[in-house]
Amino acid sequence: MDFSLPELTQRMVAVVRDFMRQEVYPLEADFLNTSFRDMLPVLAEKRAKVKAMGLWCPQIPEQYGGQGLSLLEFASIGEELGRSPLGHYLFNCQAPDAGNMEILIQYGSEAQKERYLKPLVQGEIRSCFSMTEPAYPGSNPVWMGTTAIKDNEDYLLNGDKWFSTGADGAAFSIVMALTNPEADSPYLKASMIIVPCATPGFKLVRNTSVMGDPGSDYASHGEIQLNNCRVPQSNRLGPEGSGFVIAQERLGPGRIHHCVRWLGICERAFDLMCTWAASRSIAPDKPLSTRQIVQAWIAESRAEINAARLLVLNTAWKIDQEGSYAARDEISLIKFFVAGVLQRVLDRAIQVHGGMGMTDNLPLAYWYRHERATRIYDGPDEVHKISVARHILREYE
């Protein structure tokens, strides 16, 4: 296993780190306390700078307008971007757009790439992904009620979706719907279909309020209704009935993207925790850092972050070398392990900050609200643990 980075990528990481500290961190106070829409002009300026620096879409192949980094190379960039809630957006590699770009690159027709992928990569539009439904458990991706019935050359879509991340302000959604409900295998019943959000019958009902945050066009979890929503069959991605396969291929690299972002959050929370502990006095000449319990939290956090990073790099390396299927156990391991590390590091950082940690003067409370979901989305911790355990036990049976 070789986790070393090419010299060019190392220089990119250094440039990104400086850009984040000088250009992005200063924006966080406004982001945490004002409307995202009010920030769009300044964010557009920062995105233009990223493009001019040659760092736009680092995870996308060069032929489609990105920098062409492998998963292992992107891991270091993604971690730096994850240190701020704005990082991935400014570099156009935020969820769910990043995953949708990958789907369109692999499965999109030339017409689909021209109409949807090109403006998405250029940052002219945003998208959403609609798979989870309120009436069905999101942990079972082969069980859903949304249907896409053929009508001449079109599909008529009907159903309800929720937690469609980024739906507010999206130009299109990639919708998972049943196209072959009578198929013998449950894994061949659904397809992925591109649905422009302006299509009659496509309705954004609301942004689901999460942990007291109603969401915005930056970080929303939309509830969507599809009522006789008509789109051409040419909007289908890949062969009919391949929705589950595409979803699994999307989720493998997608979990790397999530985990490196979580590592970035951990590192930023760790920096804030240590800085506060060293500078906050609890008595004359007695900084908080002199307390042994705080020292223990710092040591535990450092060990857990380092371990999580090595696990993620190993998984990214294996996917690059052998593909997502060969790394399926490693993907499950990082999903629940890094999510757990994130929860613990954030909790310790908030505890060390005391009342300050609960305020929106720092990004800690924002992350605490939004990142509790890490142990649920893309498969709950429990599902991943059971899956890995079953694969391990087969070798002993």
User: Do 305 and 356 sit in the same domain of this protein?
Assistant: yes
Q: What pLDDT sits at residue 213?
A: 80
CATH of the domain at 354: 1.20.140.10
Q: Which of 216, 237, 258 is the last residue of a domain?
A: 237
Secondary structure class of 350 (helix, strand, coil): helix
Q: Is 324 domain-assigned? A: yes
User: Do 389 and 294 sit in the same domain of this protein?
Assistant: yes
d(CA 383, CA 386): 5
Whether residue 261 has pLDDT greater than 70: yes
User: Do 110 and 133 sit in the same domain of this protein?
Assistant: no
Q: Are 270 and 301 in contact (CB under 8 A)?
A: yes
Average pLDDT over residues 97-106: 95
Please give the mean pLDDT across all residues of the chain.
94
Q: Is 177 domain-assigned? A: yes
User: Do 230 and 249 sit in the same domain of this protein?
Assistant: no
Question: How many domains does the chain fold into?
Answer: 3
Q: Is 1 domain-assigned? A: no
Q: What pLDDT sits at residue 61?
A: 96
Q: Which of 170, 203, 237 is the last residue of a domain?
A: 237
User: Do 285 and 183 sit in the same domain of this protein?
Assistant: no
Q: Which of 74, 105, 121 is the last residue of a domain?
A: 121
Q: Is 19 domain-assigned? A: yes
User: Do 215 and 249 sit in the same domain of this protein?
Assistant: no
Q: What pLDDT sits at residue 248?
A: 85
Write out the residue range of the structural domain in which residue 160 sits.
Answer: 127-237
Q: What pLDDT sits at residue 287?
A: 94
The 10s digit of each residue's pLDDT in 9-55 is 999 999 999 999 999 999 999 999 888 888 999 999 999 999 999 99
d(CA 387, CA 243): 21
First and final CA of the chain: distance in angstroms? 29
Whether residue 101 has pLDDT greater than 70: yes
Q: What pLDDT sits at residue 253?
A: 83
CATH of the domain at 59: 1.10.540.10
User: Do 146 and 261 sit in the same domain of this protein?
Assistant: no
User: Do 145 and 210 sit in the same domain of this protein?
Assistant: yes
Q: Is 71 domain-assigned? A: yes
Whether residue 294 has pLDDT greater than 70: yes
Q: Is 291 domain-assigned? A: yes
User: Do 249 and 387 sit in the same domain of this protein?
Assistant: yes
The 10s digit of each residue's pLDDT in 324-370 is 889 999 999 999 999 999 999 999 999 999 999 999 999 999 999 99
* Residue for token pair 């890094």: 338
User: Do 268 and 306 sit in the same domain of this protein?
Assistant: yes
Least confident among 82-86, 249-253, 361-365, 386-390: 249-253
Q: What pLDDT sits at residue 76?
A: 94
The 10s digit of each residue's pLDDT in 276-291 is 999 998 888 899 999 9
User: Do 177 and 317 sit in the same domain of this protein?
Assistant: no
The 10s digit of each residue's pLDDT in 202-232 is 999 999 888 888 776 667 889 999 999 999 9
Listed residue (63, 59, 100) closest to 261, CA to CA: 59
Whether residue 233 has pLDDT greater than 80: yes
Q: Is 2 domain-assigned? A: no
Q: What pLDDT sits at residue 217?
A: 63
Which positions ≥6 away from 90 have C-beta within 8 Å? 24, 43, 46, 47, 50, 81
Buried b (16+ CB within 10 A) or exposed e, 36-70: beebeeebeebbeebbeeebbbbbbeeebbbbebb
CATH of the domain at 220: 2.40.110.10
List the Cα angle 226/227/230 in 5-degree steps: 85
List the Cα angle 62/1/322 in 5-degree steps: 55
User: Do 145 and 201 sit in the same domain of this protein?
Assistant: yes
Cis, bond preceding 41 (omega within 30 deg of 0): no
Q: What pLDDT sits at residue 3?
A: 82
Q: Is 11 domain-assigned? A: yes
